[in-house]
Amino acid sequence: MKLLCGQELAGQISLLYHEMETAYDRVAAQLGLTCEGCPDNCCDSFFLHHTYVEWSYLWRGFSELPPDTQKKILFRAEDYEQKCQTTLSAGERPQVMCPLNEAGRCVLYKYRLMVCRTHGVPAAMTRPDGKRLQFPGCFRCQDIVKKNCADVQQVPVMDRTGLLRQLVLLEQQFLSGRRHLAPRVKMTIAAMLMSGPPSVVDCSDRK
């Protein structure tokens, strides 16, 4: 069964994404970090995504695009996957532009996934087993920290723990409490687009 999240759940995801943006902007402002004038584009970074609910929300946005635009994006998605697989097979990390990027901007900016929204600033999260993970941020952010933060303890950090917990709850809601029965997601945005909306047996959004 192909699933698209319903209106109520989509609203909850949108609110969570707004929280992510607020947390990101707070840390970026403290550091003085902006993307303006950056010579790089984060959209060519290789990321894997792991939730059905975000996959479904992405497709909710994709389904609103004109058919011709969808066709062009899917063509780019296929090319993206082929290039990534070739690079991965060579034991290297891919650096290929996301198929949703057009003229430097995301076609589905409103629907972009969590990783796209949180990459850039220093971040941390505490796993369920208690292990603390640290993320230094993008290269531009690391340069700013190196120049302006002599004491590592003073570096502002975006804590993703609470945000991820909320995302897990939405995932459970989307999968009707059967998250433990669903195969794990580990996909690029291109693969999510090429595969169509998520298909999960006996899991449906009833809201």
Q: What is the pLDDT of residues 50-101, one digit of tens each?
A: 999 999 999 999 999 999 999 999 999 999 999 999 999 999 999 999 999 9
The pair of three-digit structure tokens given for residue 110, joined into one six-digit string: 């409103």
pLDDT at residue 207 in the model: 41
Higher per-residue pLDDT: 151 or 170: 170
pLDDT at residue 205 in the model: 40
pLDDT at residue 202 in the model: 44
Picking from 83, 70, 35, 90, the residue whose alpha carbon sits closest to that of residue 188 is: 83
Residue 183 gets which letter from DSSP? P
**Helix axes of 139-148 and 7-31: crossing angle, nearest 10 degrees:** 40
Model confidence at 1, in pLDDT bands (50, 70, 90)?
Answer: low
- Above 90 in pLDDT, residue 168? yes
Task: Summarize the confidence of residues 154-170 as an average pLDDT.
Answer: 94
Beta strand 123-126 with 158-159 is parallel
Model confidence at 204, in pLDDT bands (50, 70, 90)?
Answer: very low
- Above 60 in pLDDT, residue 120? yes
CA distances from 153 to 85, 110, 149, 150 (A): 39, 34, 9, 9
Q: What is the pLDDT of residues 91-118, one digit of tens each?
A: 999 999 999 999 888 999 999 999 999 9
pTM as predicted: 0.88
Task: Summarize the confidence of residues 158-176 as an average pLDDT.
Answer: 94
% residues pLDDT > 90 (the chain): 77
pLDDT at residue 63 in the model: 95
Task: Summarize the confidence of residues 167-184 as an average pLDDT.
Answer: 89
User: Which spans in 32-123 are helix H?
Assistant: 52-62, 67-89, 114-118
% residues pLDDT > 70 (the chain): 96
